Amino acid sequence: MTLEQRQIDTIRGLTLDAVNAAKSGHTGTAMALAPLAHVLWSRIMKYDAADPAWPDRDRFVLSTGHASMLLYSMLYLTGHGLTLDDLKNFRQLGSATPGHPEVGHTAGVEVTTGPLGQGLANAVGMAMAERHMRARFGAGLVDHHTFAIVGDGDLMEGLSHEAASLAGHQQLGRLTAIYDDNHITIDGPTELALSDDAAARFRSYGWHVEELGEVANDIDALEAGIRRAMHVKDAPSLVIVRSHIGYPLPDSVDTSKAHGAITDAAEIAAVKTLMGLSPDETFAVGDDVLEAYQMAGSEGRGAREAWQKRRSDWGGNVERFEACATASGLPGWKAELPTFAVGESVATRKANAKIINAIADVVPGIVSGSADLTGNTGTALDSDIMSAKNPDGRLVAYGVREHAMGSIANGMALHGGVLPMVGTFLVFSDYMRPAVRLSALSKAKVLYVWSHDSIGVGEDGPTHQPVEQVAALRTIPGLDVFRPADATEVAGTYAAAIEADGPAAVILTRQDVPVLEGTSIEGVAMGGYALNEVEDPDVVLVGTGSEVHLCIDAAETLAADGVWARVVSLPCWERFESQDAAYRASVLPHDIPTVSVEAGVSFGWAQYADAHVAVDRFGLSAPGSQALEAVGISTDNVLATARAVLT
């Protein structure tokens, strides 16, 4: 038996033992793809295990995240920092080897995968970011490939259509997806629900396709097919490999049983004997096997050191490169934020467009785009459209592909080098929710710009009028949700979000709203603050977005009656909750009657207010001002509610 075959069988043995020890996991895919992993990590990919974050490494995405032991085995064997004890603690509390790969948790994991289709779309985003950076800063600093392993489940998800279609249109020649065509799902053979011709489908998207057939255990054929794909410069590539899930298990190959955890002692002993491994040993790794893999893991050291020298000798704009690499602004960038005159009437989506163009040069990583709504959402950046001909363009035409847009943005952010901004109407954030959730889980720095934020959308009616979306987004841990009251608070939103280390939602109006006296950039950073000086208020009126000016109008009327109202803008609950208790109480005293005002569902407001002016129903088709009035989003209703809590 050759050393390479023993290396491959070691991967299989580690998978069997880890899943069996956990009595949980997915054995079959990792076993079947062990030769593919071997080829990628020892023959193909450029990386240095001693520096997993080296910027010019090749990227590897395991979109079939349930097969995580395949990746964990390679990270251990190649010397990325995992230990045998980590593999023994697979799927256990606090382990470095959780059930699905998590970026930031385990060195060498590029993206958090598990929800199928997401990894493929992430890989598209990574390839777009690589090409964009290479066009802007040169191949001396940016010159690598993106590889992804995808399965039947990935390609069944609609997300794969959106992402693959855009990748083909963008002609992403350094993206290679390897399709594990094993014909098995949890419910049984894929033929139960699938009869697609994957090769024809991807060719129609504009991909180069390599149909390798029955080569899952032929490492030379696998390498040759992948290298042919890598040589295609004007299209992404799909390499199709017919594999047999669970191979070489004696009883479970090509069965849905192999999709889950193989824990039968007799079958495990039998397959270990077949592979030349001792059935009495667990987590066995031969010295020569480990040495060979660690040599592969260190093979990229010379390339990394050469890159570091090129980087130190580079005569370009280092400050700008670093700002892109860190998705941050140049020193003093906030000075470029535009100001707005009190009393000026401007839709916050229009303010957004003015702001991002004002800071584009000093926040050079911004790459904006939308789902066919660039002008409508205020995400139009004064730049060329990113394309194969203009890869350095900073405006992406995503088309009507909201789901993929969010997932691609995650890939861009996690690749590094860009600060992705993506926009659509707020009501369509529902299409993006899986990607947004993963942004927050991954701390991927993505700016989600969602406009047309209320029933103020008007005539398009309830299908386009968001009511529950802001509340739903606030339930996602790790996502800062900003709903600025006016143009000044939009500037404050960018001042806060660009200096943060995770994703942010920017919720904007379609309709014009007045620039208010007292709104501030600093107040947005705190999440909530008082707009007027009322030392001993009778009532507090707290609002967000376009409803803050209703609170101000109501407060002025109440003052004429001798009732003193404090007006509070609460643009970001998450930021406000991060302040200390004393600050929060100084803004929203616990013993003062409080009314919340927001053109959305009242869900969540009970923590801040005693009564609510809200929209706990779907909308209606009418001009925006009439629709708002019809559902009670008006100064008169704020007044009535305030007076009611004072009686």
pLDDT for the residue numbered 533: 86
Per the CB < 8 A criterion, the answer to whether 324 and 316 are in contact is no
Amino acid identity of residue 484, one-letter, is P
- Determine the pLDDT at residue 535: 83
Q: What is the pLDDT of residues 65-123, one digit of tens each?
A: 999 999 999 999 999 999 999 999 999 999 999 999 999 999 999 999 999 999 999 99
316: in domain: no
The answer to whether residues 125 and 265 belong to one domain is: yes
Among 285, 303, 321, the domain boundary falls at 303
Do 504 and 534 share a domain, yes or no? no
Of 464, 574, 567, which Cα lies nearest the Cα of 510?
Answer: 464
* 507 & 573 share domain: no
Closest CA to 498 of 355, 398, 386: 355
Residue 322 lies in a domain: no
pLDDT per position as a tens digit, 215-243? 999 999 999 999 999 999 999 999 999 99
Half-sphere exposure of 7 (CA within 13 A, CB side): 26
Tell me the mean pLDDT in the region 284-311.
98
pLDDT at 96: 98
- In this structure, the answer to whether residues 188 and 77 fall within a common structural domain is yes
Domain boundary among 514, 548, 578: 514
* Residue 311: inside a domain: no
Question: Do 505 and 613 fall within a single domain?
Answer: no
**pLDDT tens per residue, range 426-454:** 999 999 999 999 999 999 999 999 999 99
Question: Which CATH number goes with the domain that contains 595?
Answer: 3.40.50.920
Helices 158-170, 118-137: crossing angle, 10 deg rounding: 20
- Residues 320 and 43: their CA atoms lie apart, in Å, by 35
In single-letter form, the type of residue at position 559 comes to A
538 shares a domain with 498? no
User: What is the reported pLDDT for 405?
Assistant: 98
Residues annotated catalytic, as ranges: 402
Q: Would the pLDDT of 1 be above 90?
A: no
pLDDT tens-place string over residues 323-341: 999 999 999 999 999 999 9
pLDDT more than 90, % of the chain: 99
Claim to verify: residue 626 and residue 540 sit in the same structural domain: yes
The confidence score (pLDDT) of residue 613 equals: 98
Look at residue 314 and tell me if it is in a domain. no
Q: What is the mean pLDDT of residues 394-413?
A: 98
Q: What is the pLDDT of residue 87?
A: 98
Question: What is the Cα–Cα distance from 608 to 576, expressed in whole angstroms?
Answer: 11
Q: What CATH number is associated with residue 392?
A: 3.40.50.970
> Does a structural domain hold residue 321?
no
Instruction: Give the HSE-up count for residue 349: Cα atoms under 13 Å, Cβ half-sphere.
Output: 27
Residue 567's domain comprises: 525-646
Does 113 share its domain with 261? yes
Residue 326 lies in a domain: no
39, 88: one domain:
yes
- Angstrom distance (rounded) from CA 638 to CA 539: 12
Residue 320 belongs to a domain: no
501 and 532 together in one domain: no
How wide is the angle at C-alpha 100 spanned by C-alphas 95 and 105, nearest 5°? 50
Helices (H), 371-511: 374-377, 402-415, 429-442, 469-474, 487-497
Strand partners, 425: 451
In degrees rounded to 5, what are phi and psi of residue 597? -135, 110
pLDDT of residue 470: 98
Q: Are residues 483 and 578 in the same domain?
A: no
Looking at the structure of the chain, the number of domains it has is 3
**8-state DSSP, 565:** E
Note the pLDDT tens digit of each residue in 158-171. Answer: 999 999 999 999 99
Co-location of 90 and 212 in the same domain: yes
Give domain status of residue 315, yes or no.
no
The pLDDT mean for the chain works out to 97
